[in-house]
Amino acid sequence: MSEPGHTDPLAGVRETLTRRHFLRTGSHLLGGAALANLAAGRPLGSDALGPHFAPKAKRVIYLHMVGGPPQMDLFDPKPGMADWYDKDLPESVRNGQRLTTMTSGQARFPIAPSRFRFDRHGECGMELCELLPNLGKTADKMCFVRTVHTDAINHEPAITFLQTGNQITGRPCLGAWASYGLGSMNDDLPTFVVMVARPTNQEQMQAISARLWAAGALPGAHAGVSFRSSGDPILFLQNPDGVSDAVRRRTLDGIAALNQRLLADLGDPETRTRMEQYELAYRMQASVPELADLTTEGEHTWSLYGEEARKPGTFANSALMARRMVERGVRFVQVYHNNWDTHANVAGRLPDQCRDIDRPCHALILDLERRGLLDETLIVWGGEFGRTIYSQGGVSRENYGRDHHPRCFTMWMAGGGIRPGHIHGETDEFSYNIVRDPVNVHDLHATFLHLLGMDHERLTVRHQGLDLRLTGVEPARPIPALMA
Amino acid sequence: MVPGALLPLFLLVPTAGLHLASGGVGSGRAAGEVEFGRDVRPILTEHCFACHGPDEAAREGDLRLDEEAAARASGVFEGELVRRISLDADHPAHMPPAELGKPLTAQQVQVLTDWVAAGAPYDRHWSFRTPERPGLPEVQEHEWVRNPVDTFVLARLEEEGLAPAPEADRRSLARRLSLDLTGLPPDPAEVEAFVQDPRPDAYERLVERWLASDAWGEHRARGWLDVARYADTHGIHFDNYRDIWPYRDWVIEAFAADVPYDTFSIEQLAGDLLPEPTIPQRVATGYLRCNITTNEGGLIDEEYKVLYARDRTESFGQAWLGLTVGCAVCHDHKYDPLTQREFYGLSAYFDNTRVPIRDGNAQDPPPILRVTPPEQRARLATLTGELEAARDARAAREVSASQDLAAWLASPEAARAVERVPAGDEHLVVRAAGAGAPAQVVLEGAAREVALEEGASWEEGPSGGGLRSEGASLVLPDAGDFDTGDAFTCSAWVRLQPNDRSGALASRMDMGAAYRGWDLWLQGRRVGTHIIAAWPQQALKVVAKAQVPAERWTHVAITYDGSAKVSGVRVYYDGIEQEVNVEARGLEGSIRTAVPFRLGSRTPGNASGAAVADLRLHARVLDAGEVASLALAPLLSDAVAQGLEPLDEGTRSSLRDWWLRAVDGEWQRWDGEAQRLDGERQAIEASSPTAHVFAEAEGVPMAFVLDRGEYDRRGEQVQPGTPAFLPPMSTDAPASRLALAEWLFQDDHPLTARVAVNRFWQELFGTGLVATSGDLGLSGEFPSHPELLDWLAVEFRESGWRVKDLFRLLVTSATYRQAAGAPAAKRALDGDNRLLSRGPRFRMDAEMIRDTALAASGLLVREIGGPSVRPYQPPGVWEAVAMRESNTHTYRMDAGERLWRRSMYTLWKRAAPPASMEIFDAPNRETCAVRRIRTNTPLQALVTLNDPQFVEAARALAAQALRDHQSYAERMDAMMLGLASRPLADEELRTCGAVLADLRAHYAADPEAARALAEVGESPAAEDLPTPELAAWTMLANMLMNLDEVVTK
């Protein structure tokens, strides 16, 4: 983990955990390396996998905003639109591009200027919506990409595309690829964890699906493990009522003894794997509750993330949990935050949405930085598409709705090897088409993988006779301008 | 593990080194002897075809190596090929080029060199040649052979210098056989009987017994349901429930009845096109309806039409052809000789359908078939005739009514009817007063003016004009304050925009309090209502099926009778009652809320975009005549004044419809009769499950070649057709799905039988004779036993495609009956048992693990078929991902026997599959899956250790042992016999005894913990047993249930 001359920021935490487990279980059945391989399902001695070169980032926290945030209300100010209020979007701008069937029947496409003020932040001068005051304070640590574009125009295919590189369901997602390519960094937690945060406002929630964190053609062990905010954090983690740790340990010892006998009898190595599997499960029963236990967090945590972070399931809580996870060696943390699908009532909803994420995102960046983890942790924030400058339904100065818009939207990144304080790309005066430096989803994925030390063309899995990869069959390339 | 690591690349047999197919199992041959299909083609496929293969667009240097003639003509075999592959890797002319990242090994270079030296002989890819029954090979150990399967297996073993394993002991054999034929462990008594049975055919008798069991049909069906991508929800977006389980039951019955595989296949692919198809034959086409579907708001229909046809085509290719035809969606196949054009030729068979693109979020999107229970079929037949007669009479009256209507209009009764418009008892009336003016509101008889909300404006409309706004146009704190038991009617004129937006037209609803309240609701230009105590569990939601026309003033009304039932809600358009969809049923608790009544929206911002005029609330149910009068009032006064003549046809027709309903006794009589009969019919249908069926559309099937597979980049139009590299369809076959299905079973078809036999082999042995059971094409694996595969394929075809016969043959072979154990030295030679040097042994599928626990503990409820069930599942699995509006948002666990059905009946929600099954590698049931990957993760251990389902089963198993047996040893043996079909060995008994002693001491000292453990699960606690004792034994049973031996077949 640690390179010469650098202290491993995680060494302390890991040492404590390992020592405690050692004491608790008495002995390890197997070495940590074997368990780690079992955890991620990664075979020993496989040379097809990464990292292919020295990584900039070792972990990822991906914050997906389900529904598609309106870029012109948050990150891509278009003050010129004030003069266009309620005028129709010129046909020359739309240029026959397809619309969803929710607005394709509209007689008019009246322009809705953003009703929000934008403020300039940091040395980079990034202009952010007034609803994101905290995020502004870390603008110089972030890389804003205003020109992401996607192929899909409706939620399901668009989220699937952003997460798996293909609009059609069934491909492995980013987190699964990271797990497959890089394996585990710990010996008692999952490699890839998913949290579904609960937004404060739930006016227009969109569907998500467990298929978004499935392993697809990769072995199932690379699928995201859902980390839940109520009940067992991980399904079936807790012993049944009336079963203490001592009882569990005793029966596991019995299982081990009987399996050992079977192993001697049949000689099937599968039996040995089963034994490892049960020991690892037992260790997770201790490490996961420790991970979820926030009583060890000090006051500075709450003042940073806010009191909301105490409530399980909030976005703030998920952000804090994400920090605790990467601290303990979880490779990839995926967080979903919903209710960004503002077909109507942008004015009413956006304040709630921004309040949910503004402070926690800022806190997460600062917290990771203070702990020396930001350099090695890539944070990604973004939705599955943007929204239209014209209003869905009627428009007023005060309120309006916006339909899906795949042709440009803003995502931002922080940490792990990105170019800080960078504002990438430019859209036209309507935030409708890209004028300069378009970034397609496959290039973005190639960039993420590059930061993780992987060549996206070499990270493949054989599936139905093809070498499947995250970035698809068309040429894709990492974008140097986004990287430090 | 990665696929490469699943398979033994090299067997450590000295002579075998050179001849290894990519990912395949080589067989020993002398050095220098090269077989094209086994040795050479895999190398070409993996390392050369990407640039020198079938895909014209990707071809480099005008060289193709996949076709013999072209390759020979190029002269590449006259030195060039060998020279280029033998160059140093960094030489610019080196092949394959370094940037491809697929260098050849020295051995592969040698194979190609030997091949070229031998004259570079090609032959057709093995799986594209019609299989012929091979002769049986010579073997040494004749006594071991029980049937021809063994001859092939033994020949290969002897070739490799390996001996088969001894036959498994009877207990292991019984357990393996039962799990393979029924998916369940054998009853301990059956095992004992078999162990004691001295008859020479004791084993064969066991085979027959289980082949004839009901569980056989279930277990085989479960395997097929992965292939068919069967699930109980639509899949995309709302992911609502679909009522498609009759198809699942058809599959069970088909296997149980041993329907031959050709009939089984043809009925699923084209049952609707058979002459006069029976109900089961049509139900079988549910296979073609299993694909995932959507109803997402903004979807573009053509995009999904293309996706659905693609999925059906790819599934067909995987399931029957064993080919990855999907690789030709965007371009010609890289390995197999399948062109992009041919892919679309195949897809044309599946695209000419009446199945709508949008599933409507309905449980029964058309076309459907009601599968009427047999005892009601006769009544349904006569009923249909009577209903038609009543409807005909009613229709006849509609024609003859015009005269009488004209006369009536001139009568004094008509004048009185104008006044019948319900007036005076309105709770609320909102009327326009002209541009810029406040609204005229009459609330409980008191008139006042109310200012409009900002942004609201008047427009032309009935009764003085309509209100349009983006948010609420009018807010009235004291209107519409109804409770659950109050009857009310809400009516208005509306003019809708031509879009599919959703929103409230009027409401009194608190979105922050689980949507408590009520509304007049608009959804995709359909009108309905929510009446909600707490959404979505405590709520009614009813929406009309028909759309309101856009840009036209239409009168809409909803009435509610205060019954808290969906039957108490009616929806009217222009005074005519509408058929409705029920989206929520189950209202309990109060709907009253303190938020104000709002016109135009539920919240300040969430607007429907519609204009609303003359809104009225009545604190009672208006009957159909009254609603019609409200809707027709303006017309009626005109007609009374001027007669029918001056009115346009549309108005006359509306008026006539109203008059028939409101006034005409004859029409009402026939209508009453029709409604009564229709009610009876609906009652029968409601008790009849829905089968989703496939149906062909008018016109000739065809498809477009799509550039890069994109729906909006249409190229050439193509006719339905099968790929040229496979045998042609008999020439007189029409271009229909039926012809395609029958083509699969032509005697010369090379793939169908091999693919099926290989998949069935895989079910027994864990891995197919071709490990890549979904790809028998060029990039698939070369068979481990090619002659055996062909022999079985021919046998299967010639025996009339009998699945039971095939399984009988396989499970009675000596190969299958081998013991699973093997010493390390032998394992080193046959690591993954691809040579079949021992019996099959692998971790069971999710369903079998759970079913074993249920069966051994006696909890299993052995009922066949029926609606899917919802057993134990931790809270939040569905809720975390599902949309609020989805009817599979909230998981409501079943009670009683439905908790203990076989796992194949567990309701499968695609966006959140059954949690414990997903953890055990169950496929997602979204696309065709012909084999399951088996992984081992700690999460799996947590399921069998902690899932209440397993803990409850452990307790039931323990209670059974405690009641039936006295000594500790007997009890422990009884549990192990149920789970693993054998008693414990002495050493194991000692281990278990030591654990039990600790557990007993623990629970004796902590009765609270014992009680808590004994209460896990819904089945009644065992009152007759001392709780601490039961708890200790429960944990011992839990321990045994988690043994490697128990979760492994």
- Tracing tokens 């309006």 back to the chain, one arrives at A400
CA B521 – CA B519 distance, rounded (Å): 6
Q: Where are the alpha helices (DSSP H) in A339-457?
A: 346-370, 441-451
Task: State residue B802's pLDDT score.
Answer: 98
Question: Mean pLDDT of all residues in chain B?
Answer: 89
On whether any CB of chain B is under 8 Å from the CB of A265, the answer is yes
Find the angle CA(A219)-CA(B175)-CA(B796) to the nearest 5 degrees. 75
Q: Which residues of B touch A473 (CB under 8 A)?
A: 330
CA distance B327 to B339: 10
Residue B374: pLDDT band (50, 70, 90) is confident
Chain B: give the shortest CA distance to residue A71, in Å.
20
The answer to whether B1039 contacts chain A (CB < 8 Å) is yes
Do A32 and A14 contact (CB within 8 A), yes or no? no
Q: What pLDDT, on a 0 to 100 scale, did the predictor assign at position B608?
A: 65
Chain B interface, best mutation among A166, A213, A266, by max B CB count within 10 A = A266
Q: A203 and B501 in contact by Cβ < 8 A? A: no
Q: What is the pLDDT of residues B469-483, one digit of tens each?
A: 766 778 899 999 999
pLDDT for A14: 43
Non-local CB neighbours of A51 within 8 Å, separated by 6+ positions: A181, A182, A452, A453, A454
Burial of B168 (0-12, 13-18, 19+ CB in 10 A): buried
Query: What is the helix (H) or strand (E) element at residue A405, kind and residue range?
Result: strand A402-405
Q: Is A193 on the interface with B (CB under 8 A)?
A: no
**Beta partners for residue B476, in sequence order:** B597
Q: Do B501 and A392 touch (CB under 8 A)?
A: yes
Report how far apart, in Å, the C-alpha atoms of A414 and of each of A76, A421, A454, B261, B689 are: 18, 9, 19, 57, 54
Question: Of chain A residues 76-95, which have a CB less than 8 A from chain B?
Answer: none
**Chain B contact for A197, CB < 8 A?**
no
Kindly report, residue by residue over A144-186, the tens digit of the pLDDT: 999 999 999 999 899 999 999 999 888 999 999 999 999 989 8
The answer to whether A396 contacts B470, with C-beta atoms less than 8 Å apart, is yes
Dihedral sign for Cα A98, A99, A105, A107, please.
negative
Give the other-Cβ count within 10 Å of A118's Cβ: 20
B606 touches chain A (CB under 8 A): yes
Provide the token pair at A154: 């409706």
Task: pLDDT band for A393, please (50, 70, 90 cuts).
Answer: confident
Residue B510: name the closest of B468, B470, B481 by CA. Answer: B481
Q: Chain B within 8 Å of A269 (Cβ-Cβ)?
A: yes
User: How confident is the model at residue A214, as a pLDDT?
Assistant: 84
What average pLDDT does the segment B149-171 reach?
A: 97
Q: Mean of the pLDDT values across residues A288-307?
A: 95
Do B715 and B706 meet the contact criterion of CB atoms below 8 Å apart?
yes
Tokens 């929103």 belong to B503
Taking the C-alpha atoms of residue B61 and residue B80, their distance in angstroms, rounded to an integer, is: 13
Residues 452-481 of A with CB under 8 A from B: 457-458, 461-462, 464-466, 473
**Partners of residue B494 on adjacent β-strands:** B554, B612
Chain B closest CA to A7's CA: distance in Å? 31
Longest dimension (CA), chain A: 83
Chain A CB contacts of B951 under 8 Å are 240
Tell me what the mean pLDDT of segment A473-477 comes to.
Answer: 89
**CB contact (8 A) between residue A278 and residue B919:** no
- How many A-B residue pairs are in contact by the CB < 8 A criterion? 333
Residue at B127: amino acid letter: S
**Per-position DSSP letters for B946-1007, written without gaps between them:** H-HHHHHHHHHHHHHHHHH--SHHHHHHHHHHHHHSSPPPHHHHHHHHHHHHHHHHHHHH-H
B101 touches chain A (CB under 8 A): yes
Consecutive H or E run containing B208:
helix B202-211
Confidence of residue B419 (pLDDT cuts 50, 70, 90): low
The total of other beta-carbon atoms located within 10 Å of residue B33's CB is: 12
Token output for A228: 């839940």
d(CA B4, CA A467): 12
pLDDT band for position B27 (cuts 50, 70, 90) = very low
**Alpha carbon distance, N-terminus to C-terminus of chain A:** 21
Place of tokens 């008994």: B989
Cβ atoms < 10 Å from Cβ of B650: 8
Does residue A160 belong to the interface with chain B, where contact is any CB pair within 8 Å?
A: no
Q: Is the pLDDT of residue B449 over 50?
A: yes
Please tell me the distance from the alpha carbon of residue B240 to that of residue A434, in angstroms, as a whole number: 38
Percent of chain B with pLDDT over 70: 95
Q: Is the pLDDT of residue B686 over 70?
A: yes
* Residue-level pLDDT at B253: 96
pLDDT digits 0-9 by tens, B721-736: 999 999 999 877 788 9
Q: In three state form, how does the secondary structure of B234-246 look? A: CECCCCCECCCHH
**Residue type, position B545, single letter:** K
Distances from the Cα of B179 to the Cα of B146, B176, B516, B980, angstroms: 22, 5, 52, 11
Question: Considering CB atoms only, which of A154, A196, A232 is closest to B880?
Answer: A196
**pLDDT interval class at B953 (50, 70, 90):** very high
Asked if residue A107 has pLDDT above 90, the reply is: no
Look at A347-361, B95-109, B632-646 and tell me which has the smallest mean pLDDT: B632-646
Inform me whether the C-beta atom of residue A208 falls under 8 Å from chain B C-beta atoms. yes
Contact partners, residue B713, CB within 8 Å, separation at least 6: B706, B707
Taking CA–CA distances from A474, the nearest residue in chain B reads: B708
Residue B29 pLDDT = 46
Q: What whole-number distance in Å separates Cα of residue B419 and Cα of residue B410?
A: 15
For residue A241, the chain B residues in CB contact (below 8 A) are 1012-1013, 1015-1016
Residue B25 pLDDT level (bands cut at 50, 70, 90): low
Indicate the length of chain A as a whole number. Answer: 484
ipTM at complex level: 0.81
Q: What is the reported pLDDT for B463?
A: 67
pLDDT at A421 over 60: yes
Q: How far is CA A311 from CA A230, A305, A320, in A?
A: 11, 11, 11
Q: Alpha-carbon distance B95 to B47, whole Å?
A: 9
List chain B residues with CB under 8 Å of A349.
605
Contact B2 A246 (CB under 8 A): no
End-to-end Cα spacing for chain B: 21
Whole-Å CA distances, B746 to A59, A314, B751, B798:
55, 61, 10, 12
Tell me which residue in B301, B946, B1043 faces A255 most closely, judged by beta carbons: B1043
Q: What's the farthest any 2 CA atoms get from each other in chain B?
A: 110
Quote the DSSP letter at residue A167: S
Chain B segment 80-99 residues within 8 A of A by beta carbon are: none
Phi, psi values for residue B550, rounded to 5°: -80, 155
Tokens 């012909």 belong to residue: B930
B831-870 residue pLDDT tens: 889 999 999 999 999 999 999 999 999 999 999 999 999 9
> In 3D, which of B231, B239, B244, B230 has the Cα closest to residue B890?
B239
